[in-house]
Chain A
Amino acid sequence: MKKKVKPNVRRYSLILILIAMVGICSVLSDSFLTTTNLTNILKQVSIVTICAFAQGMIIITGEIDLSIGFLAGMSGTFACILYVATGNLALAFLFGIFLGALVGAVNGLFVAHFKLPAFIVTLAMQSVCFGAVNFYTGGQNVYKIGDFKQLGQSDLFGFLPITVFFMLLMLAITHVVLRYTKFGRYLYAIGGNSEAANAAGVQVRKMKWIVFIVSGIFAAIAGMVMMGRLNAGIPGEGRGFETDAITATVIGGTSFSGGAGTAFGTFLGALIIGVLNNIMNLLGIDSYVQMIVKGFIIIVAVLVDSFSKKQGRTIKIMASTFDVKK
């Protein structure tokens, strides 16, 4: 009887765009469609993509987290320091996660309980994180981090780079959380209409608090993987991750006004940017020119999105006008 509404047409359009890009790129450059290069793309996007999953959940909730980048740098660096001091990788890893959760909890406290704008709070925390780690290290990099580098440089099962593994793991976690848990449902509800969510019994404050903590944890994991990959604890690393993460989520179809978006969309968004960066490098395009191109691509992506939304809206209005039957 009842027809199912087509789910997420946009996700398929993203896949098509990605396939088209891969097709075009393989014509443009012989070295594009090789295993090494494709693996490279995945490695390059993995860290920012982990941040993007966090940002995605936050944006779905109708908030924003600008502290992600320097939080990653701070947690990663402190984890390195603890590892160098103790030699205990598990302890260092857990400490990094703890720091992420702590900063997330502070963000959540001010956003959820004191109802301050997330933009301002997380912008301030960005500064706090950067200041804290540079104060402690005196701005010096932490070298000789020994096996900590395994977090970013080893291969699992002989073929799967661990950074890619972490990215896929976080993809799976984000996907399950958003799609299969009540927490995920609540995030969409809050982003869609937080007052209505509250009136339906969702504990909005608590959920917002939790999502900021989750975001902090994701950022910390990204930071530690990054330090492993760089084979050093570099306090200033992570600059700009939050905006790259926003870019990936927005290209991936997450609604900036909250209430809509998926983990896979974000993943595809990140891959699209990754492929774009890669092909421009392969073609030897000047890095400043690359930035110009990227900037315009973002605008085009959002333009396409808003256009398709507008069309969707007129259809919706019409549907509501005529009370679609069956």
Chain B
Amino acid sequence: MEKIEYKLKLEHISKSFPGVKALDDVNISLRPGTVHAVVGENGAGKSTLMKIINGLYQRDEGKVFLDGKEVHFSGPLESSEAGIAMIYQELNFFPELTIAENIFMKRQPGSAGCVKWKEMNKRAQEILDENDLSYDPKMKIRELSIANIQMLEIVKAVAFKAQVIIMDEPTSSISDKEVKLLFDTIERLRAQGISFLYISHKMEEIFKIADDITIIRDGKSIISGPVSDFTEDSIIAHMVGRSIDNIYPKEAIPVGEVAFEAKKLCSEGMFKDVSFQVKKGEIVGMAGLVGAGRSEVCRAIFGLDPLDSGEIELHGKSYTPKNVSHAIRNKILMITEDRKKEGIIGVRSCRENITIASHRVRKGIFMNLKKEIEEAEKMSDLLKVRFAGIETPIGSLSGGNQQKVLLARWLSLESDLLILDEPTRGIDVGAKLEIYNIMMDLAKQGYAILVISSELPELLGMCDRIYVMNQGYMTGCLKRQDFSQEKVMQLATMGEK
């Protein structure tokens, strides 16, 4: 049979939910021993598709073939028995149990309800050894990093005979070093004939790891083929449905006076002698590796983390960070890195999330409800937030829209310095573009903007100047005409082996 040449084949998959057609005639063919990237904007239907493969959702139409045989899974248990393992974005594990217990969850060796601990630990050790993971199987899971747990999940899947591994944005919360480790593991397993479906936004990764690619847009599979047939631009064009020449809407605009200046900022064990300035109308980037101290500097300026010494001047006036509300009163605003943890108040409405810090919608201790609604409507229109209305809980929006709501929160206040920490992390290309446009608009209005980003192309594309940090020190500042990936990386890794 010619169908055997595909490990997993999806034909004409359709799925509707009340009111929406989530998937519409999706086709994907996964060759054995390859990594097949599935890309698409948030909301394109990627997650639904994965859930249909592993049986969490039932398809309305279409067929799924595994090794050429049509399959029907009633749930994740059946699909995992058939050899399909799913590694979720949010990992499933038991932090207080040991590695061995997690690996053998629901498969513990033993009899009569008793676990054979020795055997379980021994077998876990074997599995770890086979995969060059040097942990003690008796270690508790909570002592591991997210990346390590992820690795463990993969190893576990393979140990229990998974042939197809589905990964949903596995690199969204791990560091660059850990990404490399992950990719090594994937490559090794691929060589053993295991196939991967790899969902991701990140172009870099797709080109690094994937063999084939399928692009999904609005629930339809737009195009499939070997990755080598695509370029970054063509992938983006297929994803958003229009071509993008230059995704960065950077314009040269006149720069004003110095709005913010930091001199010799220090924080014990975090950063030392950090000095920089941001002018009105300027977009200034902060580059560096994870842990270089960029977020820490900004968090200290915003009053979230301690600052031991140093001077800060705002329009020539001295400012000492005390706490966040003090920073806001002094017109220093910051969007924090971890949107879920320190950004959104998920259960509350967009309206409340927008106006929480705004003194404009209050009269003394009372809220001016009418004004509040007006303000929330106005700001969300301005930023083109897509939602059912301002009363929608912010937690139910996509990442890009959440980010826009958080921007709306600060844009309804005056600002002398707007700090954006990883403003486009985990959001899709379309929304990224919108965020860039907003940044450019703000710069034109005279905002002084400081951007931290781990995506270097983004900084190179949007900034007027880039400061580079390395191990807590500021190692250099590049002007736009001198920008290059190499120079930034050089400064970011100076003195490291």
Contact = CB atoms under 8 A, between A and B. Distances in A.
Interface of A: 2-5, 7, 180-186, 188-189, 192-193, 195-203, 255, 259-260, 316-326
Contacts of A2: 377, 388-390
Contact of A326 (B334, B342, B388): B388
A85 to B, nearest CB: 36
A321 B22 contact: yes
Interface string B373-393: 000010000000011111111
B203 interface: no
A4 B391 CA distance: 7
Interface in B9-54: 17, 20, 22, 42-43, 45, 47-48
B345 A316 contact: no
B478 interface: no
B324 interface: yes
B345 A320 contact: no
Contacts of B342: 195-196, 198-199
Interface stretch (B105-113, B363-371, B445-453): B363-371
A294 B403 CA distance: 45
Given A196-B344, A323-B42, 10 more contacts: A2-B388, A5-B391, A5-B392, A7-B391, A180-B367, A192-B348, A316-B395, A322-B20, A324-B386, A324-B388
B398 interface: yes
A154 to B, nearest CB: 32
A318 B48 CA distance: 9
B3 interface: no
Contact of A323 (B327, B352, B391, B401): B401
B345 A322 contact: no
A182 B365 contact: yes
B341 A322 contact: no
A189 B354 CA distance: 12
Nearest to B18: A318
19 contacts: A2-B388, A3-B388, A3-B389, A4-B389, A185-B356, A186-B356, A189-B356, A196-B343, A200-B324, A200-B357, A201-B356, A201-B357, A259-B348, A260-B347, A316-B395, A320-B43, A320-B396, A321-B22, A323-B397
Contact of B345 (A5, A182, A197, A318): A197
Contact of A192 (B22, B345, B409): B345
Given A2-B390, A5-B388, A180-B367, A196 B17 contact: no
Nearest to B299: A199
B222 interface: no
B323 interface: yes
A201 B325 contact: yes
Nearest to B329: A201
Contacts of B341: 193, 195-196
A193 B357 contact: no
Contacts of B398: 320, 323
Given A199-B304, A199-B342, A182 B387 contact: no
A189 B345 contact: yes
B221 interface: no
A180 B366 contact: yes
A302 B386 CA distance: 33
A51 to B, nearest CB: 24
Contacts of A5: 388-389, 391-392
Given A185-B352, A201-B357, A323-B386, A318 B17 contact: yes
B55 interface: no
B388 A319 contact: yes
Nearest to B335: A199
Contacts of B388: 2-3, 5, 319, 324, 326
A324 B18 CA distance: 12
B362 interface: yes
B145 to A, nearest CB: 21
Given A189-B356, A259-B345, A321-B48, A181 B365 contact: yes
Nearest to B431: A323
Contacts of A195: 341-342
Contact of B47 (A192, A198, A260, A321): A321
Given A193-B345, A203-B323, A319 B396 contact: yes
A316 B352 contact: no
B328 interface: yes
Given A2-B388, A5-B392, A323 B43 contact: yes
A3 to B, nearest CB: 6
A192 B343 contact: no
A182 B367 contact: yes
A287 B265 CA distance: 69
B76 interface: no
Interface in B61-86: none
B347 A192 contact: yes
Contacts of A192: 345-348
Contacts of A255: 347
Nearest to B47: A321
B267 interface: no
B352 A189 contact: yes
Nearest to B352: A185
Given A320-B397, A326-B388, A182 B366 contact: yes
Contacts of B345: 188-189, 192-193, 196-197, 200, 259
Interface string B318-343: 00000111011000001010000111
Contacts of B336: 199
A314 to B, nearest CB: 9
A5 B357 CA distance: 23
Nearest to A320: B396
A62 to B, nearest CB: 11
B60 to A, nearest CB: 15
A247 B186 CA distance: 52
B390 A181 contact: no
Which of B45, B334, B367 gathers most chain A CB within 10 Å? Answer: B367
Contacts of B302: 199
B396 A198 contact: no
Given A201-B325, A202-B356, A325-B386, A180 B369 contact: yes
Contacts of B397: 320, 323
Interface string B457-492: 000000000000000000000000000000000000
B409 A200 contact: yes
B367 A185 contact: yes
Contacts of B367: 180-182, 184-185
Contacts of B391: 4-5, 7
Given A181-B365, A181-B366, A203 B325 contact: yes
A224 B398 CA distance: 50
A186 B369 CA distance: 15
Contacts of B348: 188-189, 192, 259
B79 to A, nearest CB: 20
Contacts of B22: 318, 321-322
B47 A199 contact: no
A201 B304 CA distance: 10
A316 B324 contact: no
Nearest to A199: B342
Contacts of A320: 43, 396-398
Contacts of A325: 386
A319 B366 CA distance: 33
Interface in B152-172: none
